[in-house]
Structure 1
């Protein structure tokens, strides 16, 4: 054999792509005619592909009951695997195709909380001002372990080592302070003191999976920083509710379910709209935690990327 290469038996034994595509369409629609219509082929072509696939596997994939089809046990097993595999192939090829033919498609990567709480209320302005730009926003809690093939044009992150080959523009230090709804504050006037806060319903941030997102500031850190001499017996303290999902904690606070630590850049619009208030003026400025705009060096001169960069910097300013 040329070059001494051994045959790839796994690839050689795989059924044809057309057969698998026909099978998935027939399994989804439970009918050869409808499957043929969705693939723009004849019913005879679908029937032939399914028959060849069943002969190859040595088993029936469908039970034919009148005009409808039912999957056999073997058909169900194959459909579960084939549908996901074909979907993954489609998504990968579409991503490659768009990258080759659409130079104005920009990918922005940030944390789920920043996307939902900071970016979402502002995006309309950028989209309306830049109708020629297709913006793709992906979120992750793991900036150092992203899926292969994903190369965002811009990150918003505290990680300066998110990717080699990126430029770093410092944005701001994070600022943290307690917030709640006006109604919750009115019902709990004791929130103006650390002791009163400690005995209120506290919504706490769990550190699980958040090491690449932000400095970990929970209520124990807050009280230790603001009132190191504060001692409240455990029996007098209401139990914390905790979650590593910051969006959940903010939504619970907006629903009047407790007091939460707010990151200024994430909840500022809620303060401006009066949906949340600060019961005290005390705050923590995280001098060791700096958020960056991280830009792919190869895309830095692209006009569309430049517009997004300038817009983001203006929004943070």
Structure 2
């Protein structure tokens, strides 16, 4: 029988006693060794002993003792911020595991922040109401090619047909892109109702920076070029083009009447239908050479639940009739 040598784990070896940290967190939280002891159902001497052990380990005072009350030192405040967050994360993870219903399937869905905020948020409650035995854990990212360690999505909604081995992709829709703004903005700037006047408006532009996982990028320069308009020929004195890589921010600014954004139909169609946003011009651009996809993990233990989510999402896109 062979024994595999394991090198010393310096991180774990350097960790202080969790029992001592728990006593410290309680004392800091209640600003009292007595109250901390009551909260943890131990003696005050035990709290004092554990805190002293921690101070010796850290070689720093953690509390200033004034009568029955205690106050954190500067070193204690630094350690409390980190240890309290860590304890909260541990407690919440333990609670999720302890209380996870055995008859509920949890699916991890990975999508872009824009899809989550502008599409999923509108529909998810209806899905959960119709499928009470499925819980969705939504993780947003802009980089679908590099998954975070420990994150293995059951479903990925992205611009990529191939998101890794073991996934089968299903096409959802082409990108259909058109200008959108508030009705109030058109009233205040009637010139934007023509293609010629559109470039001179306050343009809200989706920046490519920080969006390495996007397959292609359509900004105002590209969209106007499809209309044979050069953005560099804007009138002198036109408002500067505002840029951000957060599409939700861009759309919220358009809703607030701060300018004109490019609207991706699958994300803004409901807002256009409700009148929250309007299309100042009828022109649109359709990217025929690229698609959005829903990819399902084929070897998932909960394939039936994945299939139900897939059918639900695809049914929403099948019913839609985007502009041609």
What CA deviation, in whole Å up to 9, does each residue of 1:72-111 have, x standing for no partner? 2332333244334445555666677788967611111111
Over 3 Å counting, the alpha-carbon distance change for 1:296 and 1:40 in structure 2 is farther
- Identify the residue that residue 46 of structure 1 maps to in structure 2: 47
Instruction: Give the drift of 1:199.
Output: 1.3
| Stretches of structure 1 lacking an aligned partner (at least 5 in a row) | none
Q: Distance in 2 between matches of 1:133 and 1:216?
A: 35
Q: What SS does the aligned partner of 1:298 have? A: coil
Distance 1:164 1:227, change over 3 A: same
**Secondary structure of residue in 2 paired with 1:195:** coil
Give the distance between the partners of 1:146 and 1:40, measured in 2 at CA. 43
| Corresponding residue SS for 1:314 | helix
1:193 to 1:46, Cα distance in 2 relative to 1, 3 A: same
* CA distance in structure 2 between the aligned counterparts of 1:115 and 1:168, rounded to whole angstroms: 19
Encode CA deviations 1:17-58: one digit per residue, 9 max, x unaligned: 211222122223322344345445444432231122234444
Q: Output the CA distance in 2 between the equivalents of 1:29 and 1:298.
A: 49
Q: For residue 298 of structure 1, report the CA deviation from its aligned partner.
A: 1.8
3-state DSSP of counterpart to 1:299:
coil
- Label 1:104 to 1:81 Cα distance change in 2 as closer, same or farther (>3 A): same
**Superposition deviation, residue 268 in structure 1:** 0.6
Deviation at 1:171, TM superposition (A): 1.0
Q: In the alignment, which residue of structure 2 is the partner of 1:310? A: 311
1:226-265 equivalence runs, <5 A: 226-228=227-229, 232-265=233-266
Distance in 1 between residues matched to 2:147 and 2:39, nearest whole Å: 34
Cα distance change on mapping 1:34 and 1:280 into 2, 3 Å = same
User: Are 1:125 and 2:130 matched, yes or no?
Assistant: no
- Cα separation, partners in 2 of 1:314 and 1:67, compared to 1, 3 Å: farther
Q: Distance in 2 between matches of 1:131 and 1:105?
A: 11
- TM-score, with length taken from structure 2: 0.86
Shift of 1:213: 3.5
CA–CA distance in 2 between the matches of 1:163 and 1:187?
48
Q: Residue 74 and residue 191 in structure 1: after superposition, are their counterparts in 2 closer, same or farther (change >3 A)? A: closer
Matched, 1:163 2:190: no
Residues 104 and 133, structure 2, Cα contact 8 Å, conserved in 1:
no
Report what 1:196 is aligned to: 197
Which residue is equivalent to 2:112? 111
Listed as ranges, the gaps of 5+ residues in structure 2 are 319-324
Q: Which residue of 1 aligns with 2:64?
A: 63
What is the DSSP-based 3-state SS (H/G/I as helix, E as strand, rest coil) of the residue aligned with 1:295?
Answer: strand
Deviation at 1:231, TM superposition (A): 6.8
In the alignment of these two chains, the number of paired residues is: 316
SS at match of 1:239: coil
Distance in 2, matches of 1:270 and 1:78, equals 47
1:77 matches 2:48: no
Change (3 A) 1:172 1:47: same
Residues 274, 57 of structure 1: alpha-carbon distance in 2 compared, 3 angstrom cutoff: closer
Please state how far the C-alpha of 1:249 moved relative to its aligned partner: 0.9
Cα RMSD between the aligned structures? 2.8
Q: Would the alpha carbon gap of residues 3 and 272 (structure 1) be closer, same or farther in structure 2, given more than 3 Å must change?
A: closer
Given that 2:180 and 2:263 are in contact with CA atoms closer than 8 Å, whether structure 1 keeps it comes out as yes
Equivalent pair of 1:250/1:260 in contact (CA under 8 Å): yes
Return the offset for 1:234.
Answer: 5.0
2:322 matched residue in structure 1? none
CA distance in 2, matches of 1:119, 1:3: 48
Shift of 1:271: 0.9
Distance 1:7 1:122 in 2: 50
Q: Do the aligned partners of 2:203 and 2:261 also contact (CA within 8 Å) in 1?
A: yes
